[in-house]
Structure 1
Amino acid sequence: MAATKATAAAAAPAAQTRGDAHVARKPEVASEGTFRYQEELPKLPVPALEATCERFLATVRPLLSSEDMAETEQAVQAFLDDQGPGIQEELLAYAETQDNYVDAFWDDAYLKYLVPVVVNVNPFFVLEDDPSSARNDQIQRAAHLTLSMLKFVKAVRNETMAVDMARKTPLCMSQYRKVLGSARIPGRGDEGDRIETFTDSTHIVVMCHGQLYYFDVVTASGDLLGSVESLASTFERIRANAACVDARKAQASSVGALTGEERAVWGEVRAELEAQDENNASSLALIDAALFVVCLDNCSPTTAQETSANGLRGLSVVDAAGVQRGTVFNRWYDKLCVIVCENGSAQINFEHTPADGHSVLRMVSDVFSDNIIRYAQTISGKLAVPSVLKSVRFDAKKSTSATTQGAQDDTEYTTLPRKLDFVLDDALSQSVASAQERLVRYVEPFKIACLEYKDYGKRFIVSQKLSPDAFVQMSMMAALYAVTGELSNAYESVMTKAFLLGRTEAGRPVTPEAKRFVEMFYSIEVSPEEKLQALEQATKAHSAMTRRCSQGEGVDRHLYALKCLWALQHPDEPVPEIFSSAGYATLGETILSTSNCGNPALKLFGFGPVSEHGVGIGYIIKDQGISLTLCSKSIPVDDMKDTIEAFLDETRSYLLKTRRSGSFRPASNRVRRSGRPGTFV
């Protein structure tokens, strides 16, 4: 059975490969359900060249010296006078052949980024606890989350999932076909990686103590093959088996650490693994084709910082004998991983190329809602509680046999777990050991700090007639300025899914109004009233900027597409000077990378910095609170976290003294900590 399935996975007839990024794509086919609006979605517009160049100069002006600004203006004017109009015409012609003119180039940006995906590419979510305390146990939590995720698979395959809407505007749903069942496959040398998506995948992979197992969970059409009870029994069986493996042997066979290597190194080792033994190739193919990976972690994180660290890159705990007892090797970073700890704490770590945070968040939201509804159904069996994921409801008494015949196909499925063992010669064993050592050494410098601010949130900010997102952006920008003494280039992910195959545009929060506010905020010569006036102007400018980006009128993606197309169409000609200007270099060096991913299903959310000297901040704005997770290896994240908290306190004080009282309700009588950087008046 394993060999037959592995052979099919290795051949990957159902896999959709994204490697050759510049092949023209056929339009998405509309249907009656989840994807019914795809054919009606507008294409992402190619902005006017002059407008993008004007916005580019406006974006970098607050960040450049007068000399660098003058040089950048000259480069922009030369581009408009010479190569610019021609490459713009070529981009317009190219866009006519594509569903989305940025899509292929943006895939390349991910897949040719050959640093380790851990921290650098993969974000993480920390889920809220299960509503039932009895289910906040590793096995029960894993079983309930898995069942709900399988119902999500069925909803996508059967096209019964509700369409995402922004007010009354339908959003592109194409990413949901790739959220699950996708894998990033490393290339060799500098050829780059590729994404493969297995649309009829039927199994999941489970990791425990670094050991790998798999079993079937759905049919090819998405029908479920088990219940919560059978899933729990299987997870318990896997956990018991993994616990029997000697700790030193478990570490030596923890090949998942290879997925945390630099991509070219992983690509070479993977080729050696496949060549070493047919079983290795079959096992890798099975992992690639899995719907997702469930990681049963042998830890019970209790603090927000520890939980976030476990979600981002695992925990390193070495015993007195030098054996790794942590969770850092219990991952397959090339796929979406559902991480469940011994105390029931759950996190999601996902490879970012196939889907953005908004799409994974929709899945997590539906999964969490389904868990709540299932809990409500246990309270009152007669109560008709509708599920957000319409699917089969199983009788708890129904047992699942080792092999089950699919009701609508003749495929044989097995719901009993099977262990995947790799054949490693001395050279491959050394490669695994080296990967483990490098992984621990690589992730260790990244520090994490979490702020779960509970004194106020969205309600109070809105009551002051301010945009909550723009308000939090100002807090992060001001805090970074206080900690580093510099106003640095910032990035906010702005969704463009109102367009076909839309993903994100780079919002650039450092507007002239934001710069003015940040500099005024720390001045003892400026009154609170003036500071609030500057804050209001800065938040309005920020909202206008993000609105333009969401409408396809940003800067980064258009310029990047022009640059990529120039390299493709004019490889032997000099690159236009605009792309070597000080302004473009500054635009490409993001120090403050941010993303807003709010949802009741999430407790925390974060990712690593995109620059060696930067900080990554994931934030969630709740009705009565704001959560932020900061990650950096060069910026003191604890100081920055404290400075953000001080900003939130001080700004609220200004607002209450000079404006409406709003809906502020202090959540607690917190004791203010001393020693925070920055001066407030």
Structure 2
Amino acid sequence: MAALAGTGTGTEGLFFWGTGTTGLAYYYWLNEMYMDIRIPLPINSNPGMVFPPRRFKTVHDVAHFAARLLDGIMSHKEMLDSGELPLERAASREKNQPLCMAQYYRLLGSCRRPGVDQDSQYLPSRERLNDEDRHVVVICRNQMYCVVLQASDRGKLSASEIASQILYVLSDAPCLPGKPAPVGLLTAEPRSRWARDREMLQLDERNQRNLELIETAQVVLCLDEPLAGNFNARGFTGATPTVHRAGDRDETNMAHEMIHGGGSEYNSGNRWFDKTMQLIICTDGTWGLCYEHSCSEGIAVVQLLEKIYKNIEEHPDEDNGLPQHHLPPPERLEWHVGQPLQLRFTQASQSVDKCIDDLDFYVYRYQSYGKSFIKSCQVSPDVYIQLALQLAYYKLYGHLVATYESASTRRFLHGRVDCIRAASTEALEWAKAMCQGEGANVPLESDREDEEESRKVKFSIYSKDHLRELFRCAVARQTEVMVKNILGNGIDIPLLGLREASVEVTGEMHELFKDEAYNISQCFLLSTSQVACSTDSFMGYGPVTPRGYGCSYNPQPEQIVFCVSAFYSCEDTSASRYAKSLQDSLDIMRDLLQN
């Protein structure tokens, strides 16, 4: 990966060192992480993000809020086209190094395309055509509409004009006769199956045009109905209730809406999971995002939406006024589907519903302390939380597993992420010492939980000073691995490059990459990432392996928000049990360090 440095406020003026192999290394990584993966995008790949709920009194409020979001998207697009996007620089660890901004330019107007063997990306041209038409696709009750936001013959629409278009969709979609073809459900299928379905769709010219409109849209806007209460949190509910609610829905329910839509009877057909950005607004005030991960990391998506959201919050009066209705109504996309595709809708509904029923998801707010206390202990909040995740896993299973934490490598051209491996020898020794006498490897069957809890013997043969010393050693090791990764000295990306290069040169994989130890190291039973938000929002996703956990976290000054996921089909995992173990781990870490 080539180093990057330069000055200025935009991408111009940057200097790059390296050769064409830089791009090749990026595609090694892109194919390994995304394009070659054949499993469905929702749950397995696309994260969902929940923002603080709104208060909608009328359907006009829904339309106005949607219009403000889309107006903000267009303003951001104008900034990108003018080259005014500020260059970001590293804030720590060799400060002020310029960061690659490429992924920021891939958010709008892009889309993933399925392939039978390998997916591809549609990326918009970087040419700045100020007079080009720009549009979004709005989906409501499985009906799709093309809403033009900027046209060559009339310029950019105002927020009020956009609101009138959204109002038309909200009033038109529920009144159409018959049941619409849930074409969006097909995008939730395994990639090879969806690729073959897409080929069938393209046999019709109208369908071809619809696909082009969706793939070239700036974003997709999904206008949803609320999910039922059966998507609320199950089991352990934490020491305190969740903060944000919309009606009878809790934060776990809202996260389900963003990640997968709730199934074929709810909103999973009201999606296009290939689209890089799907803005989701529910009539009860729940709103957020589902995004396709291959184009960008979470930081670019979070920064864009938080900027737009904060502008809306700071200028609420702009929501006032009646929408302007002088524009022609948006075009509804009509699909021509034959009997084979009709059958596929039934099969896709069953497949999607089965995957959603298997998702064990839990949003947990730990509110005893946050990053303010952690910093007072002179520890990086990210390092601290990673060690808490290790301790929580050890308390349940009595051992550690390969753990993935994403580390930004944007100091390098095309840099995305490498893997911070938190399951170190030092973390293991500390976790063992912290769990002395607790009887680790506790069975997870709910009917044995109380019995096992009562049988635990809670004492420690180590002094607090010794436990603190072991903790400091674990902190030092985790910090060292983190710094190596962000400075380009990680191990996973170089090994990936060597593996792929060996295949290209020799025609076969080197024996190193056939070794059992290498295969074990690549099976991440704990997949984690920090998704720091300046608003009270959170992002979650599913595990990357059937026997594993997914866990994202947002450290705030006085609390930490966790999104924990597992699969019900695995008898050895439980999202609520892991959340409870996290609470216990964070509590005893505070007791160890607070004085």
Q: Which range, TM-score by smaller chain?
A: 0.7 to 0.9
Instruction: Write the deviation string for residues 66-109 of structure 1: whole angstroms up to 9, x where unpaired.
Output: xxxxxxxxxxxxxxxxxxxxxxxxxxxxxx32344521111212
Is 1:558 matched with 2:482? no
**Which one of 624, 630, 639 corresponds to residue 577 of structure 2?**
639
Return closer, same or farther for 1:279/1:430 CA change in 2, 3 Å cut-off. same
Is 1:271 matched with 2:212? no
* Residue range with higher mean Cα deviation, 297-306 or 136-145: 136-145
**Which one of 582, 591, 595 corresponds to residue 653 of structure 1?**
591
**Which one of 86, 105, 118 corresponds to residue 177 of structure 1?**
105
Q: SS state of the match for residue 231, structure 1?
A: helix
Give the unaligned 5+ runs of structure 1. Answer: 1-23, 44-95, 317-323, 380-394, 403-414, 660-681
State the Cα distance separating 1:364 from its structure 2 match.
1.9
* Rounded Cα–Cα distance in structure 1 between residues aligned with 2:464 and 2:152: 62
Is 1:541 matched with 2:468? no
Q: What residue number does 2:531 align with? A: 597
State the Cα distance separating 1:546 from its structure 2 match.
0.7
Q: What residue number does 1:156 align with? A: 80
Matches within 5 A, 1:82-93: none
Return closer, same or farther for 1:136/1:98 CA change in 2, 3 Å cut-off. farther
Q: What residue number does 1:327 align with? A: 267
Q: Is the 8 A contact 2:164 2:324 kept in 1?
A: no
Q: What residue number does 1:456 align with? A: 369
Which amino acid is 2:90 matched to?
Answer: A
Which amino acid is 1:579 matched to?
Answer: F
Matches within 5 A, 1:145-294: 145-167=69-91, 168-188=96-116, 190=117, 192-199=118-125, 202-219=134-151, 225-245=156-176, 249-250=179-180, 253-275=181-203, 277-294=204-221
Q: What residue number does 2:424 align with? A: 511
Q: What residue number does 1:477 align with? A: 390
Q: Figure out how many residues of one structure are paired with residues of the other and give that number.
A: 536
Q: What residue number does 1:585 align with? A: 519
State the Cα distance separating 1:135 from its structure 2 match.
11
Q: What residue number does 1:673 align with? A: none
Q: SS state of the match for residue 166, structure 1?
A: coil
Matches within 5 A, 1:413-452: 416-452=329-365
* Rounded Cα–Cα distance in structure 2 between residues aligned with 1:401 and 1:30: 49
Q: What residue number does 2:447 align with? A: none
Q: What residue number does 2:49 align with? A: 125
Q: Is the 8 A contact 1:491 1:509 kept in 2?
A: yes
Q: Is the 8 A contact 2:387 2:427 kept in 1?
A: yes
Which amino acid is 1:537 matched to?
Answer: C
Q: Is the 8 A contact 1:218 1:225 kept in 2?
A: yes
Which amino acid is 2:79 matched to?
Answer: A
* Rounded Cα–Cα distance in structure 2 between residues aligned with 1:613 and 1:486: 15
Q: What residue number does 2:546 align with? A: 612
Q: What residue number does 1:359 align with? A: 300
Q: Is the 8 A contact 1:101 1:561 kept in 2?
A: no
Matches within 5 A, 1:336-351: 336-351=277-292
Which amino acid is 2:162 matched to?
Answer: L
* Rounded Cα–Cα distance in structure 2 between residues aligned with 1:650 and 1:590: 26
State the Cα distance separating 1:428 from its structure 2 match.
1.2
Q: SS state of the match for residue 169, structure 2?
A: helix
Return closer, same or farther for 1:399/1:304 CA change in 2, 3 Å cut-off. closer
* Rounded Cα–Cα distance in structure 1 between residues aligned with 2:493 and 2:4: 22
Instruction: Write the deviation string for residues 508-542 of structure 1: whole angstroms up to 9, x where unpaired.
Output: 11111111111111113223332222222212211
Matches within 5 A, 1:660-671: none
Return closer, same or farther for 1:245/1:365 CA change in 2, 3 Å cut-off. same
Identical-residue share of aligned pairs (%): 24
Q: What residue number does 1:36 align with? A: 12
Return closer, same or farther for 1:270/1:602 CA change in 2, 3 Å cut-off. farther
Instruction: Write the deviation string for residues 374-415 of structure 1: whole angstroms up to 9, x where unpaired.
Output: 33x769xxxxxxxxxxxxxxx97895753xxxxxxxxxxxx7
* Rounded Cα–Cα distance in structure 2 between residues aligned with 1:131 and 1:435: 34
Return closer, same or farther for 1:549/1:231 CA change in 2, 3 Å cut-off. same
Q: SS state of the match for residue 617, structure 1?
A: strand
* Rounded Cα–Cα distance in structure 1 between residues aligned with 2:150 and 2:399: 53
Q: Is the 8 A contact 2:5 2:98 kept in 1?
A: no
Is 1:568 matched with 2:504? yes
* Residue range with higher mean Cα deviation, 606-615 or 364-373: 364-373
Instruction: Write the deviation string for residues 343-393 of structure 1: whole angstroms up to 9, x where unpaired.
Output: 222111111111111221221222223223333x769xxxxxxxxxxxxxx
Return closer, same or farther for 1:592/1:201 CA change in 2, 3 Å cut-off. farther
State the Cα distance separating 1:501 from its structure 2 match.
1.1
* Rounded Cα–Cα distance in structure 2 between residues aligned with 1:620 and 1:613: 24
Q: SS state of the match for residue 537, structure 2?
A: strand
Q: Is the 8 A contact 1:135 1:141 kept in 2?
A: no
* Rounded Cα–Cα distance in structure 2 between residues aligned with 1:420 and 1:31: 46
Which amino acid is 1:40 matched to?
Answer: F
Q: Is the 8 A contact 1:130 1:136 kept in 2?
A: no
Q: SS state of the match for residue 274, structure 2?
A: coil
Larger Rg: 1
* Rounded Cα–Cα distance in structure 2 between residues aligned with 1:208 and 1:539: 49
* Rounded Cα–Cα distance in structure 2 between residues aligned with 1:296 and 1:484: 42
State the Cα distance separating 1:30 from its structure 2 match.
9.4
* Rounded Cα–Cα distance in structure 2 between residues aligned with 1:40 and 1:204: 35
Which amino acid is 1:495 matched to?
Answer: S
State the Cα distance separating 1:224 from its structure 2 match.
6.6
State the Cα distance separating 1:454 from its structure 2 match.
2.0
Q: Is the 8 A contact 1:119 1:608 kept in 2?
A: yes
Return closer, same or farther for 1:587/1:284 CA change in 2, 3 Å cut-off. same
Give the unaligned 5+ runs of structure 2. Answer: 126-131, 228-245, 437-459
Q: What residue number does 2:232 align with? A: none
Q: What residue number does 1:306 align with? A: 253
Q: SS state of the match for residue 141, structure 1?
A: helix
Q: What residue number does 1:369 align with? A: 310
Which amino acid is 2:514 matched to?
Answer: S
* Rounded Cα–Cα distance in structure 2 between residues aligned with 1:139 and 1:615: 37
Return closer, same or farther for 1:176/1:451 CA change in 2, 3 Å cut-off. same
* Rounded Cα–Cα distance in structure 1 between residues aligned with 2:337 and 2:519: 44
Q: If the length of structure 2 is used for normalisation, what is the TM-score?
A: 0.84
State the Cα distance separating 1:131 from its structure 2 match.
9.8
Q: Is the 8 A contact 1:454 1:625 kept in 2?
A: yes
* Rounded Cα–Cα distance in structure 2 between residues aligned with 1:135 and 1:41: 50
Which amino acid is 2:148 matched to?
Answer: D
Return closer, same or farther for 1:466/1:224 CA change in 2, 3 Å cut-off. farther
Q: What residue number does 1:674 align with? A: none
Q: SS state of the match for residue 150, structure 1?
A: helix
Q: SS state of the match for residue 217, structure 1?
A: strand
Return closer, same or farther for 1:493/1:568 CA change in 2, 3 Å cut-off. same
Q: Is the 8 A contact 1:609 1:616 kept in 2?
A: yes
State the Cα distance separating 1:326 from its structure 2 match.
1.1
Which amino acid is 1:181 matched to?
Answer: G
State the Cα distance separating 1:601 from its structure 2 match.
2.8
Q: Is the 8 A contact 1:201 1:290 kept in 2?
A: no
**Which one of 108, 120, 126 corresponds to residue 31 of structure 2?**
108
Return closer, same or farther for 1:136/1:627 CA change in 2, 3 Å cut-off. farther
* Rounded Cα–Cα distance in structure 2 between residues aligned with 1:198 and 1:310: 28
* Rounded Cα–Cα distance in structure 1 between residues aligned with 2:4 and 2:557: 37
